[in-house]
């Protein structure tokens, strides 16, 4: 380990420990590193294959020297289709699993991609880390703050490379934006305005519960979430709008965009305070629990971060349905995934800084996956490490908790909770359904 990496890990540990988040004693013990040298092939397994997980697997398979050794899903139809597709792509069938615990026993796998719904991210990642496999886990890192803490502990304890799927961290135009802001091109950054107006935030039409589709292990889909009967509107693709499995627009898009607001000042501490307003004001005919309308403010040390979403509308500031405005003394930098532009302030009839016309954005998944694969070999920390994933997921969860409890949240860093706000503290750790347990790591 290089001295800079040792120093980084040591600092990270101190920050997290001082925030009351992790027990220091368990770090860096019982490590079981699995070594892939520079010329070795990397064999990956996929857990959760329907949509994004398969997209990430494809990006990995597009790189030289990568093979898919296994796919796991609880749905036979998804599993069979994806296995066939991979066989065509690489000329070899990956091993088929319906239980991720069995996949973890596969000694050929160097790494695991976790593409399940959010409520499964933590347990699958913990199992992979314990089995000595590196992990690409989709965002938000987990469905609660305490699950994120457990994942940070596991990644560090077992010395695993864990990349969180906030791919903008590997995107050139986002890196360029951060350089411009940090080098003072907009003057002092005072406020970041974020908005995210998307139709899917209003959920799917209400439909009655029905029989579990053939070939689906619904008990394993629910996993640690409460037992309930099957309902199509809370299953594949639409689970995001139900608290047991996701956090709605706030966690789904929030982690991508809030992450940029934190990156602009390299924030690695929780907000001083979180305040939220809004509710479920529209589309009662649709099935959703997460909020369709939401405004959030995070109080930071030397700037403010504000969030707005109005699901079901698609207009927004600067003619963009979603985006960020970094507001500085000298200019406002406006951006989304399609690119960025800079609007300077005027002083005595002259621009304070040069205007920047629209610059184009680029695809970010592929470089994020490439970065993960490089780190498997170099053992460096990836572009979106577990601490970064935990930080932004926690900001997003805090916003939801503030509105669910209708309280202002003040984080108590020595206790690792919201102090005497018991209503809010309940949401830090999920109650898992037997036999699933959230392990203390």
Ligand X SMILES: NC(=O)c1ccc[n+]([C@@H]2O[C@H](COP(=O)([O-])OP(=O)(O)OC[C@H]3O[C@@H](n4cnc5c(N)ncnc54)[C@H](O)[C@@H]3O)[C@@H](O)[C@H]2O)c1
Q: Which spans of this chain sit near ligand X (rule: CB under 6 A)?
A: 47-53, 72-75, 78, 100, 115-118, 120, 138-139, 165, 167, 220-221, 223, 236-237, 252
Q: How far is the CB of 240 from ligand X (least distance, A)?
A: 7
When the beta carbons of 116 and 383 are compared against ligand X, the nearer one is 116
At its nearest, how many Å lie between ligand X and the CB of residue 349? 43
20: left (phi over 0), alpha (psi -120 to 50) or beta: left
Shortest distance, position 253 Cβ to ligand X, whole Å: 9
* Cβ 162 vs Cβ 135: under 8 Å: yes
Q: How far is the CB of 317 from ligand X (least distance, A)?
A: 22
278 closest CA partner among 378, 197, 368, 160: 197
Handedness of CA 256, 261, 262, 263 (dihedral sign): positive
Burial pattern 188-208, b for ≥16 Cβ within 10 A else e, equals ebebbbbbbbbebbbbbeeee
Q: How far is the CB of 410 from ligand X (least distance, A)?
A: 28
The Cα-based distances of 437 to 130, 247, 250, 358, 440 in angstroms read 15, 21, 26, 49, 9
Q: Specify the residue, 191 or 232, whose C-beta has the smaller distance to ligand X.
A: 232
How far, in Å, are 184, 345, 375 from residue 187 at the CA level? Answer: 5, 10, 35
16 secondary structure, DSSP code: H
Query: 76 or 345: whose CB is closer to ligand X?
Result: 76
Of 127 and 353, which CB lies nearer to ligand X in the complex structure? Answer: 127
Nearer to ligand X, 225 or 327 (CB): 225
Kindly tell me which of 344 and 430 has the beta carbon lying closer to ligand X.
Answer: 430
Tell me which DSSP letter residue 435 carries.
Answer: T
Here the tokens at position 77 are 């139809």
Q: How far is the CB of 218 from ligand X (least distance, A)?
A: 10
């Amino acid at each position: 380990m290089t001295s800079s990496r040792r120093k980084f890990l040591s600092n990270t540990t101190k920050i997290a420990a001082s925030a009351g988040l992790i027990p220091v004693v368990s770090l860096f013990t019982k490590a079981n590193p699995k070594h892939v040298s520079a010329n070795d092939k990397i064999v990956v397994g996929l857990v959760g294959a329907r949509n994004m997980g398969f997209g990430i697997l494809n990006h990995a398979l597009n790189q030289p020297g990568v093979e898919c050794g296994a796919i796991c899903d609880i749905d036979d139809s998804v599993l069979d289709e994806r296995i066939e597709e991979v066989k065509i792509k690489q000329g070899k069938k990956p091993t088929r699993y319906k239980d991720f615990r069995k996949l973890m026993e596969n000694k050929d796998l160097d790494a695991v991609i976790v593409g399940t719904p959010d409520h499964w991210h933590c347990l699958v990642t913990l199992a992979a880390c314990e089995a000595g496999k590196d992990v690409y886990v989709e965002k938000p890192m987990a469905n609660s703050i305490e699950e994120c803490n457990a994942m940070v502990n596991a990644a560090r304890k077992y010395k695993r490379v864990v990349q969180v799927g906030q791919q903008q961290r590997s995107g050139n135009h986002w890196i360029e934006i951060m350089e411009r802001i940090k080098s003072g091109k907009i003057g002092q950054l005072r406020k970041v305005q974020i908005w995210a107006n998307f139709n899917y935030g209003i959920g799917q039409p209400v439909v009655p519960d029905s029989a579990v589709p053939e070939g689906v292990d619904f008990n394993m889909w629910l996993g640690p979430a409460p037992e309930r009967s099957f309902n199509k509107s809370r299953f594949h693709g639409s689970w995001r709008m139900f608290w047991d499995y996701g956090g709605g627009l706030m966690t789904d898009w929030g982690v991508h965009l809030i992450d940029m607001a934190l990156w602009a000042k390299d924030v690695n501490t929780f907000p001083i305070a979180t305040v939220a307003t809004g509710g479920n004001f529209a589309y009662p005919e649709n099935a959703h629990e997460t909020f369709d309308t939401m405004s959030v403010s995070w109080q930071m040390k030397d700037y403010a971060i504000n969030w707005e979403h109005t699901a079901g509308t698609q207009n927004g500031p600067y003619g963009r349905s979603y985006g960020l405005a970094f507001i500085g003394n000298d200019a406002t930098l406006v951006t989304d995934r399609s690119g960025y532009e800079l609007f300077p302030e005027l002083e005595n009839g002259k621009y304070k800084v040069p205007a920047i016309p629209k610059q184009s954005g680029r695809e970010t998944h592929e470089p994020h996956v490439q970065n993960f694969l490089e780190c498997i070999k170099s053992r460096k920390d990836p572009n979106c490490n577990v601490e970064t994933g935990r930080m932004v997921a926690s900001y997003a969860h805090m916003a939801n908790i503030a509105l669910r409890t209708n309280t202002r949240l003040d984080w108590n860093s020595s206790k690792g909770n919201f102090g005497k706000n018991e209503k809010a503290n309940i949401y830090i750790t999920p109650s898992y359904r037997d036999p699933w347990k959230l392990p203390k790591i």
